[in-house]
Chains A and B, each alone.
Chain A
Amino acid sequence: MSLMEVRNLEMTYSDEDVATPVLRGLTFKITKGEFVTIMGPSGSGKSTLLHILGLLERQSGGEYFFEDKQTGEYSEDEVARLRNKKLGFVFQSFNLLPRTTVLENVKLPLLYSGIKEEMWNSMARKAIDAVGLSHRLDFEPSQLSGGEKQRVAIARALVNNPEVIFADEPTGNLDSKSGEIVMEIIQKLHNEMGHTVILITHESYTAEYAERIIRLRDGLVESDTKVLNRRTGKLFQK
Chain B
Amino acid sequence: MSLYHAIKISLAGLKTNKMRSALTILGIVIGVTAIIMVVSLGQGAKDLILGQIQGIGARTIGIIPGRQPKGPTDVLATLTASLKERDLVALGRKENVPHAADIMPIVFGSETAYYEGETYRPTIFGGTELMADIYDAYPERGRNITADDVRGSADVVVLGQTVVDKLSPDHDLFGERIKIKGRNFLVIGILPKKGGASFINFDEMALMPYTTAQNYIFGIKHFNRIAMRADSEANVSSTVEDVKTTLRELHGITDPDKDDFGVETQADALKTVGTILNTLTVFLAMVAAISLVVGGVGIMNIMLVSVTDRTREIGLRKALGATNKNILTQFLLEAIILTGVGGIVGILLGAGLSFAISLVISNVFGLAWNFTFPIGAAFLGIIISTIVGLIFGLYPARKAAAKSPIEALRYE
> Which of these, B312, B316, B322, contacts A80 with CB under 8 Å?
B322
Judged by a CB distance under 8 angstroms, whether B254 is at the interface is no
Provide the bound-state CA to CA distance between A80 and B320, in Å.
Answer: 8
Do A56 and B406 have beta carbons less than 8 Å apart? yes
Q: Are B16 and A84 in contact (CB under 8 A)?
A: no
Which chain B residues in 276-324 approach chain A with CB under 8 Å?
312-313, 315-324
Docked pose: A95 CA to B408 CA in angstroms: 11
Tier of interface size on chain B: 20 to 34
- A80 B323 Cβ-Cβ under 8 A: yes
Beta-carbon nearest neighbor of A104 in chain B: B12
Bound-state Cα–Cα, A91 to B410, Å? 11
Is B409 a contact partner of A81 (Cβ separation < 8 A)? no
Question: Chain B interface: which of A109-117, A173-181, A189-197, A211-219?
Answer: A109-117
Tell me whether B237 is interfacial, beta carbon within 8 Å.
Answer: no
Per the 8 Å Cβ criterion, residues 305-354 of B in contact with A are: 312-313, 315-326
Interface residues as binary, A98-139 with B (CB distance below 8 Å gives 1, 0 otherwise): 111000100011011110010000000000000000000000
Given contact pairs A56-B405, A56-B406, A76 touches B320 in the complex (Cβ within 8 A): no
Q: In the bound complex, do residue A76 and residue B316 qualify as a contact, i.e. CB atoms below 8 Å apart? A: no
Tell whether, in the assembled complex, residue B320 and residue A99 are in contact, meaning their CB atoms are under 8 Å apart: no
User: What is the bound-complex CA distance between A77 and B327, given in angstroms?
Assistant: 12
Asked if residues A84 and B406 are in contact (CB atoms below 8 Å), the reply is no
Contact present for B1 and A77 (CB under 8 Å): no
**Cβ of A35 < 8 Å from any Cβ of B?**
no
The B interface, classified by DSSP as helix, strand, loop or mixed, is helix
Question: B residues within 8 A CB of A117?
Answer: 5
Q: Decide yes or no: A111 and B5 within 8 Å by CB, A57-B406, A95-B409 being known contacts.
A: yes
Give the interface size bracket for A toward B. 20 to 34
**A83 and B406: CB pair below 8 A?**
no
B315 / chain A contacts, CB cutoff of 8 Å: 95
Task: State which of B1, B319, B324 has its C-beta within 8 Å of the C-beta of A89.
Answer: B319
A46 at the interface (CB under 8 A from B): no
Q: Is there contact, CB below 8 Å, between B1 and A111?
A: yes
B380 in contact (CB, < 8 A): no
Using Cβ atoms and an 8 Å threshold, which residues of chain B touch A108? Answer: 316-317, 320
Q: How far is the CA of A108 from the CA of B317 in the complex (A)?
A: 8
Which of chain B's residues has its CB closest to A166's CB?
B319
1/0 per position for A136-175, CB-CB distance to B under 8 A?
0000000000000000000010001000000000000000
Identity of the chain A residue whose Cβ is nearest the Cβ of B2 in the assembled complex: A117
Contact A83 B1 (CB under 8 A): no
Complex contact A84–B324 (CB within 8 A): no
A97 interface hit (Cβ, 8 Å) = yes
Q: Name the contact of B320 in the complex, choosing from A77, A83, A98, A104 (C-beta under 8 A).
A: A83
Inter-chain contact B320/A112, CB cutoff 8 Å: yes
Question: Is residue B9 contacting chain A, with contact meaning CB distance below 8 A?
Answer: yes
A98-B16 CB under 8 A given contacts A76-B323, A76-B324: yes
Judged by a CB distance under 8 angstroms, whether B275 is at the interface is no
- Using CB atoms, name the residue of chain A closest to B12: A100
Contact residues in B for A80 (Cβ distance below 8 Å) = 318, 321-324, 326
User: Which 9 pairs across A and B sit closest by C-beta, in order of nearness?
Assistant: A84-B321, A112-B321, A80-B323, A109-B320, A99-B16, A56-B405, A95-B316, A83-B321, A57-B406
Q: Which residues of B contact A (CB under 8 A)?
A: 1, 5, 9, 12, 16, 312-313, 315-326, 404-406, 409
Interchain residue pairs with CB less than 8 A apart (30): A51-B406, A56-B319, A56-B404, A56-B405, A56-B409, A57-B405, A57-B406, A76-B323, A76-B324, A77-B324, A77-B325, A80-B321, A80-B322, A81-B321, A83-B320, A84-B320, A84-B322, A95-B316, A97-B16, A98-B16, A99-B16, A100-B16, A108-B316, A109-B320, A111-B5, A111-B9, A112-B1, A112-B322, A117-B5, A156-B320
A interface, CB within 8 angstroms of B? 51, 54, 56-57, 76-77, 80-81, 83-85, 89, 91, 95, 97-100, 104, 108-109, 111-114, 117, 156, 160
